[in-house]
Amino acid sequence: MKRDLIEIAQIHGSFGLHGKIQVKPYGESFAQFKTYTQLIIGKSGRPLKVVSCIQSTDFILLELEGISRRDQVERLRGETLFITRDQLGSTDQDEEYWRDIIGLQAIDLQGRSLGTVVSIFSTGSNDVYVVDPEKHYYIPATKDVVREISVEKGFLRIDTSLLEDLLD
């Protein structure tokens, strides 16, 4: 059975002597992070129960079942932490997870392909979809520009009339 794993953090190192793990989360929400009941270390790891989860200034401090010594944590430095897809919360209407948008075909209102969404970044006011690995079209993820997202059908529809100078 193949697991759909979502990367959520990287192990930065140990904290204290008793196996606390210092992790740098990829997302911004500690509130979401602390809802995870099990974490997976590395893609081939087994799920480990979260015993405690504490927010610090730049990191999250975790205690995981079965890890109780500093030397155990140090061997894990640099490893990626994952959750399973079913641990993700549901999205609101008209919201999608970035991982579901990456790989979608970007098409204009006439159905012409602009390329595939290869990455996404946030500007603070909105996200930006990077389309086409060579041309790097930067598409603002606003309702005016992105008219439709269909993960099921594999595309997002873009009003290119607002992006005339950005697509040359």
Domain residue extents for the chain: 5-87, 98-160
**Local structure of 144: helix, strand or coil:** coil
Distance CA 126, CA 114 (A): 20
Reference 142, options 121, 158, 153; nearest CA is 158
Residue 37 has what pLDDT?
93
Tally of residues, the chain = 168
Residue 64 has what pLDDT?
96
Percentages helix, strand, coil for the chain, rounded to the nearest 5?
A: 15, 45, 45
5-87 is classed CATH 2.40.30.60: yes
Q: Is 82 exposed, middle or buried (0-12, 13-18, 19+ CB in 10 A)?
A: buried
**DSSP structure class, residue 70:** H
Q: For 33, left (φ over 0), alpha (ψ -120 to 50), or beta?
A: alpha
Alpha carbon 51 to chain centroid, angstroms: 23
98-160 is classed CATH 3.40.718.10: no
Cα 141–108–117 angle (5° rounding)?
A: 50
Q: How do the pLDDT tens digits run along the chain, 168 residues long?
A: 345 888 889 999 999 888 999 999 887 678 888 899 999 999 888 899 999 999 988 899 999 999 999 999 999 999 999 999 888 877 777 788 888 899 999 999 999 999 999 999 888 889 999 999 898 999 999 999 999 999 999 999 999 998 877 676
